[in-house]
Amino acid sequence: MQIRPELDALRRDDTPQRQAQARLVEDLARWRAGPAAPLDTELARFGDGAELDDLPLLSALFAPGETAAEDFAAELVARFVAALERDPLGQVPLRHYTDDLVTTLMLARNARSTLTLQALDGTGLARRAAPVSAGFPPSEAIERVLAGSAHGEVMSIVAARPGGADLSSAELHLRAGDVHRRDGSREALILRSVAGSLVTLKLQRRTASNAVTHEYRLADGALVHQAAGNPRDSRLELTAALLGRMGRTDAAPLLAAMAEETGSPALRWQALRECLALDSAAGFAALSQLARRGEDPLCGPAGALRAQLIETYPQLAGVASCPA
């Protein structure tokens, strides 16, 4: 392994690295104080449900026929390119990601919305296998093409059915200047080919905190996966599963309480399953409570599971309600 002298010097004194990073942070702060000054406020309002037309900066960025988006992104990129030429060991102080297909730079975010700059490599896309499924998250997305072109299709949910959905598709051609808007819970964009690189500015917001992301197989519309629609519920589902795998019987009362709360049906059902596995009495009592709540979305599944369990284990019929 060959270590360059400037990297070797940082082993003894990392002051140049810290100074370089501080200068990059200052460059970002100047950009945020300039053309991006209203961004955080408008993004928060957008996440809370405000219409795009009521947000001057964001509406200008996604207005067809305008060049505000190109100018906005170009200024930030120019600042970072100049900063990295000056300090090549610095790191862009924004969340970023890259692989052989996509490079993403998150310009701003809050609890429910994000604004990202994204470049998709056509060669990398051509090397990937064709997608066999499409995901439909509870979100709204607006994308503006800054450079490049692409061909793809929009998959739409025509009707939901048990275990899947009826899907339809429509061709879509994207070119520089185009603005594409979609409801992620009903529409999914699948890119089939990209000429060179496709650079887009993407505004996205979650539309329902308790909704579920569904993934359907393109061939027949069968449901192949579903997941919580927000990171908090995903973390809590993983936590409940981990407590179950660890055999933490002391967590059963907490899981029973989670199952009986309002909120994400998927999270509550996961908590109930783990509670049943850890403590059958506490879990069955919680299950019985849910089965008696006619207005609860889990009432039907809970009643069916309760009947199935009593048929298999008749002794459960005598379990009293959970003291909690």
Residue among 87, 85, 57 at smallest CA distance from 72: 57
Mean pLDDT, to the nearest integer, of 250-271?
88
| C-alpha to C-alpha distance for 321 and 323, rounded to whole angstroms | 6
Which CATH number is 14-228 given? 2.60.120.10
- What span, in angstroms and rounded, lies between the C-alpha atoms of 282 and 290? 13
Q: List, as own/partner pairs, every contact residues 160-168 make where C-beta atoms lie below 8 angstroms and the sequence separation is at least 24, other chains included.
A: 161/221, 163/222, 163/223, 164/216, 164/217, 164/220, 164/221, 164/222, 164/223, 165/214, 165/216, 165/221, 165/223, 166/221, 167/134, 167/216, 167/218, 167/221
Query: With pLDDT > 90 as the criterion, what percentage of the chain qualifies?
Result: 67
pTM above 0.95, yes or no: no
Per residue in 18-63, pLDDT (tens digit) is 888 999 999 999 999 988 999 999 999 999 999 999 999 999 999 9
pLDDT of residue 244: 92
Concatenate the DSSP letters of all residues of 111-152 into one string: SSEEEEEEEEEHHHHHHSPPPSEEEE-SEEEEEEEEEEEEEE
For helices 280-291 and 252-260, the axis angle rounded to 10 degrees is 10
List the chain domain ranges.
14-228, 231-318
pLDDT at 67 exceeding the cut of 60: yes
Amino acid at position 244, single letter: G
Q: What is the pLDDT of residue 53?
A: 94
Report pLDDT for 12: 77
Judge contact between 279 and 264, C-beta under 8 A: no
Owner of token pair 């429910």: 112
CA torsion sign for 32, 42, 181, 214 is positive
Which tens digit of pLDDT belongs to each residue from 146-185? 999 999 999 999 999 988 999 999 999 999 999 999 999 9
Q: Which tens digit of pLDDT belongs to each residue from 246-256? A: 999 999 999 99
> Rounded to an integer, what distance in angstroms lies between the CA atom of residue 324 and that of residue 322?
5
Q: What share of the chain is helix, strand, coil (3-state, %, to 5)?
A: 45, 30, 25
- First vs last Cα of the chain: how many Å apart? 63
Across the chain, the runs of DSSP E, i.e. the strands, are 96-98, 102-109, 113-121, 133-136, 139-161, 164-174, 179-183, 187-206, 212-217, 223-228
